[in-house]
Amino acid sequence: MSEQSGAGRVVWVTGAGSGMGRAAAVAAADGGRRVALSGRRPDALESVAEDVRAAGGEALVVPLDVTDVAAIDAAHARIADAWGGVDDLVLSAGLNTPRRTWENQRIDDFRSIVATNLTAVAAVVQASIADLRRARGTVVAISSVAGWAFKPGAGIAYAASKTAVGALCRDLNVAEWPNGVRATHLCPGDVDTEFLSMRPEVPDAANREGMLSPDDVARAVLFALDSPAHVRIDELVITPTHLR
């Protein structure tokens, strides 16, 4: 059976203003999808919208702080007004902190990280679930290798929240497959993006050599989105070759 055509489908991308969200949004537009772009920085989203349109796609800029559940519902309503609903989700918004050990972590940071990496994933899916059922939709949650296997140094809140995203995806797959909804727990290793500035030791150019690029991950996102409807990519781990 051939790949599922994404042409005309509406994909809502969170964390769309930069990094993997940006790359996935442009790649999805290249495949003919209409792309709703969410993140907190409107200027970054406008710049991605230009790239989407240059790729021949349609873009809708929907600024959003994903930790604000009421704002998620309002953002969903905006997309539904414009395009009738959401067919697929790419959830890339994420947060970490340099203070990630038992010596220096702060519980306020912990709460924000869980709110961004986990609760927001649940809230965006919840806001979209009726649409996803109607459209036989795919959810791609951009998690982390730290959500696939224990990774020392990733951060307590980060690893806990990303691991829980795996459980959320499994639940979606078990509970929602009769409704045609499927989810992918996408677990990248090191990717050369702005996100690395949240590490206790920010990698320099030499240390970024050989890391994944956002486009590498976007290819994996499109693989999950474009797989035929009877195929479920439960979990996908994608790492740089050099990862030990």
Ligand X SMILES: NC(=O)c1ccc[n+]([C@@H]2O[C@H](COP(=O)([O-])OP(=O)(O)OC[C@H]3O[C@@H](n4cnc5c(N)ncnc54)[C@H](OP(=O)(O)O)[C@@H]3O)[C@@H](O)[C@H]2O)c1
Q: For residue 166, state whether it binds ligand X (rule: CB under 6 A).
A: no
Q: For residue 61, state whether it binds ligand X (rule: CB under 6 A).
A: no
61 contact partners, CB below 8 Å, separation of at least 6: 37, 42, 45, 46, 49
Q: For residue 95, state whether it binds ligand X (rule: CB under 6 A).
A: yes
Q: Which of 92, 128, 163, 173 binds ligand X (CB under 6 A)?
A: 92
Q: Which of 12, 110, 148, 158 is catalytic?
A: 158
Vertex 120 angle, CA 63 and 83, to 5°:
50
Q: Which of residues 187-226 bind ligand X (CB under 6 A)?
A: 188, 190-191, 193-196, 214
Do the strands 58-61 and 10-14 form a parallel or antiparallel pair, or are they unpaired?
unpaired
Considering beta carbons, is residue 17 or 137 the nearer one to ligand X?
Answer: 17
Q: For residue 155, state whether it binds ligand X (rule: CB under 6 A).
A: no
Q: For residue 44, state whether it binds ligand X (rule: CB under 6 A).
A: yes
8 contact partners, CB below 8 Å, separation of at least 6: 32, 33, 34
Q: Which of 142, 183, 220, 221 binds ligand X (CB under 6 A)?
A: 142
Spatial separation of the C-alpha atoms in residues 149 and 83, rounded to whole Å? 38
Q: For residue 184, state whether it binds ligand X (rule: CB under 6 A).
A: no
Q: For residue 127, state whether it binds ligand X (rule: CB under 6 A).
A: no
| Residue 54 contacts residue 31 (beta carbons within 8 Å) | no
Q: For residue 134, state whether it binds ligand X (rule: CB under 6 A).
A: no
| Whether residue 158 lies in the annotated active site | yes
Spatial separation of the C-alpha atoms in residues 10 and 231, rounded to whole Å? 20
Spatial separation of the C-alpha atoms in residues 76 and 196, rounded to whole Å? 30
Give the binding site for ligand X (CB under 6 A): 14-15, 17-21, 39-41, 44, 64-67, 92-95, 116, 142, 144, 188, 190-191, 193-196, 214
Active site residues: 158
